[in-house]
């Protein structure tokens, strides 16, 4: 039986990863009644449950900050309960950690990050529902999404809202609404927290407690490389557990160390799949979109891998081409190929989350669809939180960079 939760929200956000949190904050700070639905008992998504722990840069690697707003607020907040700092060049502590060539990034404690993010949600008055999985959507005759079916320990009920944000990381809401998505190849990874006296690792909290990353260059074995399936996720996770078992058994067998000094402390609570599903948007970021001017740009973002590679973010990349009443944010926006690899990380997820939250708020205020709003209407609001949209606004000239393709 499906009952009604008897709750009517202005905006419902599915998924409390960094993108969903940014979306919920942006909408709630405009005075809207916002619900944030999360299937786990933790918030932060991959960034926290996935033990990711590096907030990648807000700058272009050549001294220019390009990403601002809630994404910057989250980076600065993320260190409150952690032993890390960002570089002095970006206003951090003198002697602050220089992670990768003085870029505006930092490490954080996943647990500490959860405490900080929850504080932001509380202050903004967001209604957070943990352990609440979005299972299905309800649509009006014109195809607009009007409600979500949510399952939690109360049972399965309906939540109504004026507008929706899909920040599930794998476009669950859009897929349940019948929208098309694409997927990409993934490879096996395991980032986990361990205690080890011997290892000197990049990602360390203390001399003995650190994150150890295992990785494989081989693509995971799936039917057509498709990871939009539950059995693939289970297999992925159990393979990563096997990697850990073999690693510890071998280190004990070899006599290099023993279980009293060297052991696992925490495994990721989410499958560390990087790219599961992205929507087919009204506009799409793709190979070669870097340094491309989009009249519809709603935010700037710099590639985390290579200095001097900057993107304008087209508004339509957050709007599904085939589902009404929904914005998409985070690692499932419409980005394919190299652009998806670039955008699938924390700073861009938070940036697109804020855009989606503002967009959903405007759509409710003006009683219209995302496609009826102009990018300039969103920019007017985002500018109030220091957003920049085009290269020239931060003093960058694409003509000087086009040879990097």
Ligand X SMILES: Cc1cc2nc3c(=O)[nH]c(=O)nc-3n(C[C@H](O)[C@H](O)[C@H](O)COP(=O)(O)OP(=O)(O)OC[C@H]3O[C@@H](n4cnc5c(N)ncnc54)[C@H](O)[C@@H]3O)c2cc1C
State the residues that interact with ligand X by CB under 6 A: 14-20, 37-40, 45-47, 50, 52, 54-56, 133-134, 167-169, 172, 189, 191, 272, 274, 330-331, 344-346, 349
Minimum CB distance to ligand X, residue 26 (Å): 14
Minimum CB distance to ligand X, residue 268 (Å): 8
Nearer to ligand X, 47 or 177 (CB): 47
Minimum CB distance to ligand X, residue 187 (Å): 9
Minimum CB distance to ligand X, residue 263 (Å): 21
Minimum CB distance to ligand X, residue 345 (Å): 4
Nearer to ligand X, 264 or 398 (CB): 264
Nearer to ligand X, 134 or 378 (CB): 134
Nearer to ligand X, 31 or 225 (CB): 225
| Phi, psi angles (nearest 5°) of residue 157 | -135, 175
Nearer to ligand X, 50 or 112 (CB): 50
Residue 242: partners with Cβ closer than 8 Å, 6 or more residues away? none
Contact yes or no for 184/33 (Cβ under 8 A): no
Minimum CB distance to ligand X, residue 356 (Å): 11
Minimum CB distance to ligand X, residue 45 (Å): 2
Bridge partners of 145, per DSSP, are 139
Minimum CB distance to ligand X, residue 14 (Å): 5
């Amino acid at each position: 039986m499906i009952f009604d939760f008897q709750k009517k929200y202005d905006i419902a956000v599915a998924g409390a990863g960094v993108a969903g949190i940014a979306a919920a904050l942006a909408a709630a700070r405009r005075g809207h009644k916002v619900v944030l639905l999360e299937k786990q008992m933790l918030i932060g998504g991959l960034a926290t449950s996935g033990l990711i722990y590096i907030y990648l840069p807000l700058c272009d690697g050549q001294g220019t900050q390009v990403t601002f707003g809630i994404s910057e607020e989250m980076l600065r907040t993320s260190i409150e309960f952690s032993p890390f700092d960002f570089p002095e060049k970006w206003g951090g502590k003198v002697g602050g950690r220089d992670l990768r060539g003085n870029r505006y990034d930092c490490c954080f404690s996943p647990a500490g990050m959860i405490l900080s993010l929850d504080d932001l949600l509380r202050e903004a008055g967001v209604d957070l529902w943990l352990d609440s999985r979005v299972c299905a959507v309800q649509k009006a005759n014109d195809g607009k999404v009007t409600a979500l079916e949510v399952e939690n320990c109360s049972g399965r009920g309906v939540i109504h809202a004026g507008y929706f944000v899909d920040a599930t990381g794998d476009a669950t809401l859009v897929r349940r609404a019948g929208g098309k998505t694409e997927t990409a190849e993934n490879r096996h990874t395991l980032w986990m927290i361990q205690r080890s006296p011997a290892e000197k690792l990049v990602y360390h909290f203390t001399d003995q407690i650190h994150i150890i990353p295992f990785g494989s260059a081989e693509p995971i074995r799936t039917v057509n490389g498709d990871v939009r399936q539950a059995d693939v996720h289970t297999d992925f996770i159990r393979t990563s557990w096997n990697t850990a078992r073999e690693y510890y058994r071998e280190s004990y067998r070899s006599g290099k160390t023993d279980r009293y000094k060297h052991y696992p402390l925490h495994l990721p609570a989410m499958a560390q799949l990087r790219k599961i599903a992205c929507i087919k948007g009204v506009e799409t970021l793709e190979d070669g979109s870097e340094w491309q001017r989009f009249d519809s740009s709603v935010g700037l973002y710099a590639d985390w891998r290579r200095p001097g590679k900057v993107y304008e973010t087209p508004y339509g990349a957050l709007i599904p081409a085939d589902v009404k009443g929904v914005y998409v944010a985070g690692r499932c926006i419409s980005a394919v190929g190299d652009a998806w690899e670039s955008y699938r990380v924390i700073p861009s997820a938070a940036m697109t989350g804020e855009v989606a939250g503002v967009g959903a708020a405007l759509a409710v205020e003006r009683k219209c669809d995302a496609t009826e709003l102009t990018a300039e209407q969103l920019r007017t609001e985002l500018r109030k939180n220091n957003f920049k949209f085009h290269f020239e606004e931060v003093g960058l000239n694409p003509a000087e960079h086009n040879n990097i393709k």
